[in-house]
């Protein structure tokens, strides 16, 4: 559905994106994460046809990203999305429906249905009088007015309160369940972890790691084991009437079991804890671009 090959973007002597290669399958949610200045937004804008690559190619549904035909298949939500503040949500969406040549009756049904799903009230209120969260919902509705197959969302919950943020994330998740192909960028890695099938981690303009969450965890994360015993063993802390020891290997688990039995006790529980996406991201970012590896994709 989406195919990017060796994407590069230069601004004079500055290279904002270098050699970005990835693909996104139909119906997949693909996350792009990284620190500020990593090249995420530049990459998304090249995919959306808003920036011309200095090098490399990008296609959506087999069409070059600079073609009008491709834009008919695309819904783009930038991180900052100024709206026409004298318009109402209905007139604003109707304006964009006309630009996409959406038939009037289809546009009418689609805009009201989407705004209802987003639980947006005051459809006839001027956009300039709306909160940031309400404006963001209207911008999301705009990205769907042409019923695109592909959505590119850059920080869809940027600057929103926690309640609105959770609603926007849940709505994005529903779009994925409805079969939309989504490229999704966010600084909140908990949201990325909850919604994305695969993730690309960018740093200093390059994709430095890529794969599904299990593959990234196996390659860059850590697994820790919490062993609960009825007696105190070395390095244990008391917790809920038992003793908890944190170790990093199954050999250490067995050593803890042996120590407990020698002390006249036993192991009553073992719980596994794996690194979060945030911990994986920090490990990859600290490693820099020298160790770039794409896991689970045969070096694509």
Is residue 300 one of the residues assigned to a domain? Answer: no
Is residue 75 one of the residues assigned to a domain? Answer: yes
Higher pLDDT, 194 or 229: 229
For the stretch 102-143, pLDDT in tens is 999 999 999 999 999 988 888 999 999 999 999 999 999 999
The reported pLDDT for the residue numbered 290 is 45
Is residue 16 one of the residues assigned to a domain? Answer: yes
The pTM (predicted TM-score) of the whole model is 0.81
Q: pLDDT-derived band of residue 219, with 50, 70 and 90 as boundaries? A: confident
CATH number at residue 252: 3.30.1490
In sequence order, which residues have a C-beta less than 8 Å from that of residue 93 and are 6 or more positions away? Answer: 107, 111, 115, 138, 141, 142, 145
Tell me: do 198 and 110 sit in the same domain: yes
The reported pLDDT for the residue numbered 11 is 95
Tell me: do 247 and 196 sit in the same domain: no
Write out the residue range of the structural domain in which residue 8 sits. Answer: 2-218+278-294
The stretch 252-263 carries a mean pLDDT of: 95
The stretch 211-225 carries a mean pLDDT of: 87
- Token representation of residue 162: 């926690």
Tell me: do 140 and 249 sit in the same domain: no
pLDDT at 291 over 70: no
Please state, in angstroms and rounded to a whole number, the distance separating the CA atoms of residues 120 and 130: 11
Please state, in angstroms and rounded to a whole number, the distance separating the CA atoms of residues 281 and 220: 8
What is the number of structural domains in the chain?
2
Tell me: do 282 and 270 sit in the same domain: no
CATH number at residue 147: 3.40.50.300
Is residue 76 one of the residues assigned to a domain? Answer: yes
Q: Decide: 234 and 214 in contact? Cβ < 8 Å.
A: no
The stretch 244-258 carries a mean pLDDT of: 94
The reported pLDDT for the residue numbered 298 is 44
The reported pLDDT for the residue numbered 138 is 94
Is residue 299 one of the residues assigned to a domain? Answer: no
**What is the enclosing helix (H) or strand (E) of 1?**
none
Higher pLDDT, 219 or 52: 52
> What is the three-class DSSP state of 181?
strand
Q: pLDDT-derived band of residue 299, with 50, 70 and 90 as boundaries? A: very low
For the stretch 152-174, pLDDT in tens is 999 988 878 888 888 888 888 89
Distinct helix (H) and strand (E) counts, the chain: 10, 15
Is residue 114 one of the residues assigned to a domain? Answer: yes
């Amino acid at each position: 559905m989406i195919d990017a090959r060796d994407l590069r973007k230069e601004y004079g002597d500055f290279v904002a994106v270098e050699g970005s290669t990835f693909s996104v399958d139909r119906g997949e949610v693909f996350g792009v994460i990284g620190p500020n200045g990593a090249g995420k937004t530049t990459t998304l804008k090249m995919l959306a046809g808003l920036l011309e690559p200095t090098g490399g190619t990008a296609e959506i549904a087999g069409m070059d990203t600079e073609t009008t035909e491709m834009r008919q298949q695309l819904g783009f939500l930038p991180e900052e999305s100024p709206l026409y503040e004298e318009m109402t949500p209905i007139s604003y969406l109707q304006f964009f429906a006309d630009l996409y040549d959406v038939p009037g009756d289809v546009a009418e049904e689609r805009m009201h249905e989407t705004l209802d799903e987003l639980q947006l009230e005051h459809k006839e209120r001027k956009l300039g009088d709306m909160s940031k969260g309400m404006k963001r919902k209207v911008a999301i509705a705009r990205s769907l007015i042409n019923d695109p197959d592909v959505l590119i969302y850059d920080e869809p919950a940027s600057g929103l309160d926690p309640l609105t943020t959770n609603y926007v994330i849940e709505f994005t998740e529903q779009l994925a369940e409805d079969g939309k192909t989504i490229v999704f960028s966010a600084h909140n890695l908990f949201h990325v972890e909850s919604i994305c099938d695969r993730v690309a981690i960018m740093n200093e303009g390059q994709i430095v790691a890529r794969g599904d969450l299990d593959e990234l965890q196996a390659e860059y994360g850590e697994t820790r084991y919490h062993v609960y015993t009825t007696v105190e063993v070395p390095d244990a802390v008391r917790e809920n009437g038992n003793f908890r020891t944190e170790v990093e290997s199954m050999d250490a688990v067995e050593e803890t079991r042996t120590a407990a039995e020698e002390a006249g006790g036993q192991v009553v529980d073992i719980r596994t804890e794996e690194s979060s996406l945030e911990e994986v991201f920090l490990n990859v970012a600290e490693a820099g671009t020298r160790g770039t590896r794409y896991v689970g994709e045969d070096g694509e």
